[in-house]
Amino acid sequence: MWFFDIDSVFFEILGYEMSYLEFFGTIAGAVAVGLSARAHIWSWPIGIVNVVLFFFLFYQVQLYPDMFLQIFFLVTNLLGWWRWANPKPGEENKKNELRASFLGVKKFLGACSIGLAGTYLFGTFAKNLHALFPAIFSIPSAFPYADSFITVMSIITTFLMVQKKIECWIMWIMVDGLATYLYFAKGIKFVGVEYLAFCFIAAYGLWNWIGEYRLNKVAGTA
């Protein structure tokens, strides 16, 4: 199990000790997000590798809501892989995959409101995990509400991504921005750098999916 131990050092750079777990989990995540921004279906199976490794990583740095999030991501990566490969009649693009579409302002604001309410509820739960389950969570949750915002909004955003809704990238920019701060604060700096890069990839994904939507509209399939 040494590979999954955050103290198992792969290499050191500028005084920072990089674990196997953080390095390979981060690389898999970067590849998966990059492929998502390009609307490439292989983002889903590569994402599965990322979430398995990050499950062990987040447990060891006491980001418990993020740890639970990886279980959700495992399920949705499988679901997203199937959904993109099997669009319903009239939903397909030129590659016979699910095409990008808009969610709409009202539904987008509704999703954000649900996310904020969920953040408060899950954050309160995360804040008390060490008291409720001391045998499993011996150390209190770090940044329970900020971490819960990332968790809850990521769940909502992933559902939108599975349906290939363009607004998912706006949410990812918010999530990735906060996650960048959080991971630097917890000392997993390589993951923090990755999430900073994710902010820019999300901006590209937003631009690229809007472009795909416009092309489909011109072709009469939007």
pLDDT tens-digit series, residues 70-81: 998 899 899 888
What's residue 90's pLDDT?
67
> What's the 3-state SS for the chain?
CHHHCCCCEEEEECCEEEEHHHHHHHHHHHHHHHHHHCCCCCHHHHHHHHHHHHHHHHHHCCCHHHHHHHHHHHHHHHHHHHHHHCCCCCCECCCCCECCECCCHHHHHHHHHHHHHHHHHHHHHHHCHHHHCCCCCCCCCCCHHHHHHHHHHHHHHHHHHHCCECCHHHHHHHHHHHHHHHHHHCCCHHHHHHHHHHHHHHHHHHHHHHHHHHHHHHHCCC
In whole angstroms, what is the distance from residue 53 CA to residue 25 CA? 5
CB-CB contact of 7 with 19 (8 Å) = yes
Gyration radius (Cα) of the chain, Å: 18
Q: What pTM, to 2 d.p., does this model score? A: 0.73
What's residue 219's pLDDT?
64
Long-range contacts from 209-218, C-beta under 8 angstroms, 24+ separation: 209/39, 209/100, 209/164, 209/166, 209/169, 210/100, 210/166, 212/39, 212/93, 212/99, 212/100, 213/99, 213/100, 213/101, 213/102, 213/166, 216/93, 216/99, 216/100
What percent of the chain clears pLDDT 70, i.e. is strictly above it? Answer: 94
Query: How many structural domains does the chain have?
Result: 1
What's residue 181's pLDDT?
93
Residues of the domain holding 33: 2-219
What's residue 207's pLDDT?
94
Q: How many CB atoms lie within 10 A of CB 157?
A: 23
What's residue 45's pLDDT?
93
What's residue 220's pLDDT?
60
pLDDT tens-digit series, residues 146-202: 989 998 998 899 889 888 899 999 999 999 999 999 989 988 888 898 889 989 989
pLDDT tens-digit series, residues 101-137: 999 999 999 999 999 999 999 999 989 988 888 888 8
Report the mean per-residue pLDDT for the chain.
87
Question: 73 or 84: which carries more pLDDT confidence?
Answer: 73
What mean pLDDT comes out for the span 198-213? 92
Q: Estimate to the nearest angstrom the gap between the alpha carbon of 137 and the chain centroid.
A: 23
pLDDT tens-digit series, residues 6-38: 888 888 887 888 888 889 998 999 899 889 888
